[in-house]
Amino acid sequence: MTQAESIAEASIEGLAAALTSGSLTAVDLVAKHLLRIGTYDCRNTALNSIPLLNENIFDEAAASDDRRALGKAHGLFDGIPFTVKDSYKVKGMTVSCGSEAFKDLVANEDAFLVSLLRSAGAVLVGKTNMCPMAYGGMLRGFYGRAESPYNSDYLPAAFGSGSSQGSGVSVASSFAAFGLGGETVSSGRSPASNNALITYTPSRGMISPRGSWPLYPTCDIVISHTRTMDDLLALLDVIMAKDPETTGDFWRDQSWVSIPAQETILPRPVSSIRDIGYLTGKRIAVPRMYITQCDGGPYVSESILPVWNQAKADLEAAGATVEIVEDFPVIQAYENPKAASGPRLPEDWNSTERGALIAHGWEDFLQENASSHISSLNGVPPTKMFPHFQPSDPEVKFTEPANAVHWSKLASYAANGVPSSRPGKSAIYDIPRLEDAVNALENMRKHYFEDWLSIHDYDYVAFPAVGDVARANADAEDSSAEHAWRNGVKYSHGNRALRHLGIPSVTVPMGILESQQMPIGLTVLGRAYDDVGILRAGYVFEQKSQRRIAPPLVPALTSDAIPSQQGKISGTRPKLEVTKCSVAAAAQENLNVSIEGNLTMSEATSSSDRASKPHVEIFVDGIAVNESNIHVTEHPQQDGAPLTFRLAYVGLAPKPPTQEGRNVVAGRIARDSTMVMVIARNGEQGRPSGYLKLVHGSDI
C-alpha cells in the first residue's frame, strides 16, 4: 500500500498504510480530521455537514491504536474515520432523522452497517445533516442544512431529493474517509454528483438497511459516498455482509418476489472485480433528453453538453460504443402510466405510499428501537415531524401536491391498521394492494427497461446525473426556487422511477460545469442484479477519465500533512482525564475557556527512570492555543507508582459566529458550539490520547 501524504483527498488504503507504518496513530488521524471540521464545517465556510459529533471518538480511536500495538488490528478499516447520516441508529446517540419530533430519540443499538464498520475498527466521526424525515433534499431540517464546498452560490444536492447532503459534503471536504447515507429517489446520487463523489445504488436486498429510518419502504436503499472507486469496492467488502435478520429490510422481508442472495451477485473480495478492459465492445445507450434540451423533456443546462462530450470520448476510448437514443421507455411509462400498455401500479397507489406505507414503516422503526421516550407515532405532533410551511414559502411553493406526505394522518394509519396476519411480521404487509404493487414494480422494470435493453442489445444506459444544479437561495427567492423544482433539477435524472423499480446504478465524477463551477457526475444504469457489471463500468470510466476535482473552498491545512517517518510513534499512551471543560462570557465577543484535568502515565516508574514530561496540545475551534497557557505540573509520587500530572489551561477564544435568518437552527449543533480538543502524549513522539468536548452557548 502507498501511504498518503495528506489526509485531504486521501484514499482509505493510503490512510491505512500510514497507520500500519506507524507514521500516524488513529488518535492523530481523528484529530487531523477534527481540525478540518473545526476550520471549515464549524467556522469560516461553516458548511454544517456534521451537526452531531461523536464525543467518544477518541476512545474509539485509542482502542484501535491499542489493537494495532498488540498486533491485533482488524484490517484495512481499523482506525479509519467515517460519518453516518442522521437516519442511522448509533447506540447512545440521538436518531432524529433531521426532525424536531425525534430530537431526543436515542438509539438502542447500532444500525447493522454501523455495527459492521465498528467491528472492522472504523471510527465514527459523527452524524451528517439531512432534511426532516428525509422528505425532500435541501429543505432545512432541525439542524439546518449543509452548504457546498465547491461554490457557495449553489446547493450541494438537489432541492427535491438529496437528503444525504451532509454525507456528500463531509466526504468531499475530507472530514472523513467515507460516509453512509440513504436514497429513496436521488438522495444519494444527487449529493454524489454535486460533490464529485462515487455512489452505488445497489439492486434490491444487496445491502441491509436495518437500523435506519425508512421513508418509502418499496424504494429505500442505503448508499455510501467515497472519493474513489477503489474506496467503494473496499467498503463493499465490509458492508455487503449477510444480515441474518430481515426486519426493517422490506424487500428481503416480503414474500411475494424472490430476491437473490448477496453471495450470488458479488464475489469476495469485491475488489477482485476490477477489469480495466471491461467496457471494450459494450454498447451504451444515452437518452438524448438528458444531454440536450428536448421538447417536453427535463431541463438541461447548456453547460452539460461540453462535459458530456468529454465523457462520451472517455467511454469510447475505453472501448465502448455509445449510442444516442430518442426514447427511454421506462421513464415515459412510469411517469405517464395511462399512456402505457404494459404493467402498471394499482390506481392511486401513490397516495398509499405517502400515507399508510410510511406510517407502518415508521411505526415499526420506533417499536424496534423500544425507547421509553418515543415508541410510537401516536402523540407525535405532525408539525414537529415536518415543519409547516405557508403555501407561499419558496421552499414548498413549487412542489407537487400529489407527492405530499399525509403528515396529519400518519399516526391514525398505524394505529388503525389491521393487525398483522403473519406472526412476527409487520402489519405493513397487510396493506391492501401491496402485493399487487410489489409485483407491478418488478414487472415494470423487466418490461420497460430490461426487455428494452435486450431488444436493442444494449449493455448499459449512461447519462449526466442531472440537468442543472440549483442555487443556494432556492429556499428564499421565488425565481431560484422555481428553477430548483424544475424537472431535471429537482431530482437526479431518472426521477422517482429508478429507485421505485429497483434499477441499480453507479455515479462517478464526470467533470465541472463551467458556468456554475460545480461538479457533475455520470450515472450508469444496468439490469437488476448485474451489479458486478455496473461497478466494473464505473471503475473503468473513473480510471480512464479521472475527473474528480477537490473542493476549492476547503483547501488543505498544514495540519493535514502525514509525517513521512515510520515507526517513530512509540511507548504507552497516557490516561487523560478532563475534569473540567467550560466556557464563560468574556469581553469583546470572546469566551473564557477553562480546562482542568489529570494525566497518568500508564507504566509505573522509579525516581531514577522517569518518563518524560507529557506533551499536551489544546485546540479550540480548530486553532491551536498558546502553549504558554498550558500548564502541566507533576504530582508528588512514591517510587513504583505511576507518574501523574495536573493539567490546567485558561485562555480566550472568539464566540461562535451569530447566525441570522434561515441559518438559525433550533437544534444544538457543532457549528454553534465551541469545540475543545486536547491531545496528550508521553513526550513529543509518544502515543497520544485525546479528548473532545462541544460546549454550546446555552450551557454558558
Query: Is 374 part of any domain?
Result: no
CA-CA distance, 595 to 649, in Å (whole number)? 5
Please tell me whether residues 136 and 213 are part of one structural domain.
yes
**Which has the minimum average pLDDT: 178-187, 284-293, 373-382, 551-560?**
373-382
Give the Å distances, CA to CA, from 448 to 100, 323, 440, 565. 41, 18, 12, 58
CA 429 to CA 258: how far, in whole Å? Answer: 15
pLDDT at position 608 is 39
Give pLDDT tens digits for 59-75: 999 999 999 999 999 99
47 belongs to a structural domain:
no
Q: Does position 606 have pLDDT exceeding 50, yes or no? A: no
Note whether 584 and 549 are same-domain residues. no
pLDDT surpasses 50 at 1: yes
The predicted pLDDT at position 604 comes to 47
159 within 8 A of 485, measured Cβ to Cβ: yes
- Which pTM value belongs to this model? 0.97
Give the mean model confidence (pLDDT) for residues 554-574. Answer: 88
- Distance separating alpha carbons of residues 359 and 550, to the nearest angstrom: 41
Give the pLDDT score at 419.
66
What are the tens digits of pLDDT across the range 5-47? Answer: 999 999 999 999 999 999 999 999 999 999 999 999 999 999 9
Is residue 474 within 8 A of residue 528, CB to CB? The reply is: no
Q: Answer yes or no: is pLDDT of 641 > 50.
A: yes
**Of all residues in the chain, what percent carry a pLDDT higher than 70?**
97
Residue 545 neighbours by CB under 8 Å, 6+ apart: 310, 311, 314, 508, 509, 510, 511
- The pLDDT, as a whole number, for residue 417 is 54
545/632 same-domain check: no
Judge residue 138's burial from the number of C-beta atoms within 10 Å of its C-beta, 0-12 exposed, 13-18 middle, 19 or more buried.
buried
Residues 6 or more apart in contact with residue 295 via CB below 8 angstroms? none
Total domains in the fold of the chain: 2
pLDDT value of residue 423: 67
* Distance of alpha carbon 166 from alpha carbon 170, whole angstroms: 6
- Among 521, 554, 587, the domain boundary falls at 554
Structure confidence at residue 218 as a pLDDT band (50, 70, 90): very high
- The per-residue pLDDT for range 373-421, each reduced to its tens digit, is 899 999 999 999 999 999 999 999 999 888 899 999 999 998 865 567 7
The DSSP code for 290 is G
Does residue 23 form part of some domain?
no
Q: 252-294: per-residue pLDDT in tens? A: 999 999 999 999 999 999 999 999 999 999 999 999 999 999 9
Say whether both 305 and 450 belong to one domain. yes
d(CA 238, CA 221): 17
Per-residue confidence at 635, pLDDT binned at 50, 70, 90?
Answer: confident
Q: Is the peptide bond before 269 cis (omega within 30 degrees of 0)?
A: yes
Same domain, yes or no: 585 and 480: no
pLDDT at site 699: 72
CA distances to 57, 94, 367, 368, 667 from 104, in Å:
21, 6, 15, 16, 10
Distance (Å, rounded) from C-alpha 261 to C-alpha 246?
12
Q: Are residues 170 and 305 in the same domain?
A: yes
Considering the domain architecture, whether residues 512 and 580 belong to the same structural domain is answered as no
Residues 494 and 608 in one domain: no
| pLDDT in the model for residue 567 | 67
Q: How far apart are CA 549 and CA 510, in angstroms?
A: 10
- Give the pLDDT score at 698: 66
Same domain? 587 vs 654: yes
Q: Which of 302, 299, 52, 328 is nearest to 160 (CA)?
A: 299
Q: Which residue has the cell 460516509?
A: 179
Rg (CA), the chain: 26
In this predicted structure, what is the pLDDT of residue 607?
44
In a domain, 363, yes or no: no
d(CA 410, CA 103): 19
* Averaged pLDDT of the chain: 95
Q: Is residue 677, in this structure, part of any structural domain at all?
A: yes
Distance CA(671)–CA(39), nearest Å, equals 10
Do 502 and 580 share a structural domain?
A: no
Backbone angles phi, psi at 361, to 5 degrees: -60, -45
> Residue 363 pLDDT > 80, yes or no?
yes
Which CATH number belongs to the domain containing residue 508 in this structure? 3.90.1300.10
DSSP notation for 383-448? HHHS----TTSTTTTTS-GGG---GGGHHHHHHTSPPPSSTTS-GGGGSTTHHHHHHHHHHHIIII
Are residues 95 and 203 located together in one domain of the fold? yes
Q: Give the per-residue pLDDT at 570.
A: 73
Query: Which CATH number is 691's domain given?
Result: 2.60.40.10
Percentage helix, strand, coil, to 5, in the chain?
30, 20, 45
Instruction: Report whether pLDDT(167) > 50.
Output: yes
351 domain-assigned: no
Q: Give me the pLDDT at residue 401, please.
A: 87
Helix axis angle, 26-36 to 57-69, nearest 10° = 150
Phi, psi dihedral angles at 697 (to 5 degrees)? -55, -35
* pLDDT reported for residue 700: 66
* SS3 of residue 499 by DSSP: helix
Domain span at 607: 570-699
> What residues does 198 pair with on adjacent strands?
226
Dihedral, CA of residue 107, residue 108, residue 110 and residue 112, to nearest 10: -110
Mean pLDDT of 433-459: 98
Identify whether residues 449 and 550 lie together within a single domain.
yes
Look at phi and psi of residue 524 and say left if phi exceeds 0, alpha if psi is from -120 to 50, else beta: beta
Residue 378 lies in a domain: no
Is 597 part of a structural domain of the chain?
yes
